[in-house]
Amino acid sequence: MPGPVHIFLHLALCNAAAQAPPETTLPVHVTMAYHVGGNEVDRVFKVVRGDGAEVVAEFDVPRSLYKLQVDLPQYKCGVTDFIDVLSDHNRTVTETLVPAPVPAPAPVVMLDGAAPLSFAYLRPTFVVFAAGSACDQPVTVALPVPARLEYDPGSYYVGLGSDSSTGTAGSLVVALRLRTTTGLAHYVRLPLPFPQPWDGWPTTVRFNITEEMIDGLITEKTDTLLCPKMWETKVG
């Protein structure tokens, strides 16, 4: 059975907390809640403000999808977000505390998986194209869908904005854009129904990337929607 995953939670302080003296101890309340109910973490971390505008809390959790909530009640600020944690990959999470009332997380599809070090060097970006975008055809202008991408050694995590204004459920095309050494780009379609219906929690999609998959793109056309069969996703 996989062991616990270590979380490094980096918190950019809200203005009120950032103006506190460096020696101030900040009581940061962190919860990590499951979709089915109950908290894996419900703990107050007492961290020293220090000279910077960021503090760090560390803890262990099992692999799962969580709703993260951070509260700094003394300064009336916090943040809420969804965090997916993979087995065997320690996770660095960066959040920004905002003044209350703290907004709920926006609808999102979470896509993550294992990836080699070379993946980050290709400046990956996940983009969304209109319905009807065809394989082996030149790509069109990407739709303005927000994407948040984070890296850790051996893994990556992306959140694709998936609210009702994005489009009809399952109608759009998601692609991974990888830059070449010449400044051009490969676009690889991901077999992923997008957008997903929203019930208050995100759909999670597992997409592991290997060095072999990346090497296989070297001779492929650039600025074309590629649809290799070996690039497979797993929803759930």
- Which pLDDT score is estimated for 233? 75
In this prediction, residues 44-72 reach a mean pLDDT of 95
- Which pLDDT score is estimated for 182? 85
Beta bridge partners of 58: 8
Q: What average pLDDT is seen over the chain? A: 92
Q: pLDDT-derived band of residue 2, with 50, 70 and 90 as boundaries? A: low
C-alpha span between 161 and 106 (Å, rounded): 7
User: Percent of the chain at pLDDT above 70?
Assistant: 97
In this prediction, residues 121-131 reach a mean pLDDT of 93
Residue with tokens 């400046």: 123
C-alpha span between 126 and 134 (Å, rounded): 17
- Which pLDDT score is estimated for 37? 87
More confidently predicted of 64 and 236: 64
- Which pLDDT score is estimated for 236? 62
H helices then E strands: how many in the chain?
3, 17
Residues 5-99: name the CATH superfamily: Immunoglobulins (2.60.40.10)
Q: pLDDT-derived band of residue 88, with 50, 70 and 90 as boundaries? A: confident
User: Percent of the chain at pLDDT above 90?
Assistant: 77
pLDDT at 63 over 80: yes
Question: How far apart are the two ends of the chain, measured CA to CA in Å?
Answer: 19
pLDDT at 1 over 60: no
In this prediction, residues 33-43 reach a mean pLDDT of 94
pLDDT at 178 over 60: yes
C-alpha span between 126 and 113 (Å, rounded): 13
pLDDT digits (tens, 9 = 90+) for 136-170: 999 999 999 999 999 898 999 999 998 767 767 77
pLDDT digits (tens, 9 = 90+) for 184-199: 999 999 988 899 888 8
Q: How far is CA 39 from the centre of its chain?
A: 21
